[in-house]
Amino acid sequence: MSDRTQAFAGLAENYRAHRPGYPDEILTTLRDHVLDGVGPDGVRLLVDVGSGTGISTRALRSLFGTGPRVIGVEPGDDMRAAAAAEGGEVEYLNARAEEIPLPDASASLVLTAQALHWFDRPAFYAEAARLLERGGSLAALANDRDLDSPFIDDHESLLERHSPGYDRHYRSYDLVGEFSAVPGLTSVVEHTRSWVRELTPEGYLGMAMSSSRVAAAVRAVGEERVRSELEAIVERNFPDGRVLMPYVTRLVLARRDRGATDGR
C-alpha cells in the first residue's frame, strides 16, 4: 500500500470489535507515572498518537477522569471515523505522529499504543519531547503475542508464508535504549505483564482479519485460503473450540527532564 496511513482501510470495524484492551495493572502503572511527574496545575493534556479506533484513547479518559483534555492523533480515515463514532468524551486529530499540530510543552503524557512500528521513530521521539511539559511522560504500550507459544508459532508461520515481507520479530527493537538516547528524556523504565485472552473461534478469526498483515496475506493468496488456514490453526491447537491467546504486554516509560530548557 502506497499510503501507510490508510493501511487499515476497510478493517476498522473488525479492529473495533475484536482487538483487546490492556491489563489494568499496566494501565495503573501508566497513570501513576504521569501523576508523579505533573506540577501543581495537575494533568492538563493527554495525547494518544496512532490512536486507531480509540481503544487506548478512551482508556486514558477512564484512567484520568473528566479533568484533562484527551486527544487521539490518527491519520487513518476509517480508523478515526470508527473512533469518533464510539464517543467517550475525547477528541481526534487527523495528523501524523511525526508532525502533531499542538503547542510546545503542552502535554502531560504522549502515549503510543500498538502503533509505534508504523512511525519514523526518531522523528516521533523528537516530536514527543517537543510536546511534553517538564516532568511529562512518554509511553509506548503494546500487546505482543507471546512468541514462545506453539499456537502463536502456528499463527506467525501462516503470516510469514503468505504476507509479503512479514517477519514475526518486526517489533523486536530496543525501546529502552531508543528512549534513553532522546535528548530531554530521562529515567527510562520498562514494565511487562503476561496474560491470556480467551476467545471463541469466531473471535479469533475476527481479530486476525483486523490485521493489516493478514490483509496483505489475503491480497496475496485470497481470503478463502487464509480463512481456511486460520480455521485449521484453531482445530490443531484448540479442538475444544476454546482459543487461548497468550500476550506479553509491554509498557516503556520515560520522563521529560524537569531541568530541560524550552526550545531544545
Q: What is the pLDDT of residue 212?
A: 86
CATH class of the 4-145+169-196+246-256 domain in this structure: alpha beta
Listed residue (156, 74, 68, 152) closest to 115, CA to CA: 74
Q: What is the pLDDT of residue 94?
A: 97
Helix (H) or strand (E) holding 190: strand 185-199
Q: What is the pTM of this model?
A: 0.91
Q: 168 near 117, Cβ under 8 Å?
A: no
Q: What is the pLDDT of residue 19?
A: 77
Contacts of 245 (CB under 8 A, 6+ apart): 145, 151, 152, 196, 197, 198, 199, 204, 207
Helix (H) or strand (E) holding 251: strand 243-256
3-state secondary structure string, 107-122?
A: EEEEEEECCHHHCCHH
Q: What is the pLDDT of residue 263?
A: 42
- Helix, strand or coil, per DSSP, at residue 48: strand
Listed residue (143, 139, 116) closest to 18, CA to CA: 143
Q: What is the pLDDT of residue 141?
A: 98
Domain range annotation of the chain: 4-145+169-196+246-256
Q: Could you please report the per-residue DSSP string of 88-147? A: SS-EEE--BTTB--S-TT-EEEEEEES-GGGS-HHHHHHHHHHHEEEEEEEEEEEEEE-T
Q: What is the pLDDT of residue 2?
A: 47
Q: What is the pLDDT of residue 11?
A: 56
Q: What is the pLDDT of residue 100?
A: 98
Q: What is the pLDDT along the chain (264 residues), one digit of tens a residue?
A: 445 555 554 555 666 666 789 999 999 999 999 999 987 779 999 999 999 999 999 999 999 999 999 999 999 898 899 999 998 899 999 999 999 999 999 999 999 999 999 899 999 999 999 999 999 999 999 999 999 999 999 999 999 999 999 999 998 999 999 999 999 999 999 999 999 999 999 999 999 998 889 999 999 999 999 999 999 999 999 999 999 999 999 999 999 998 754 444
d(CA 144, CA 11) in angstroms, rounded, equals 19
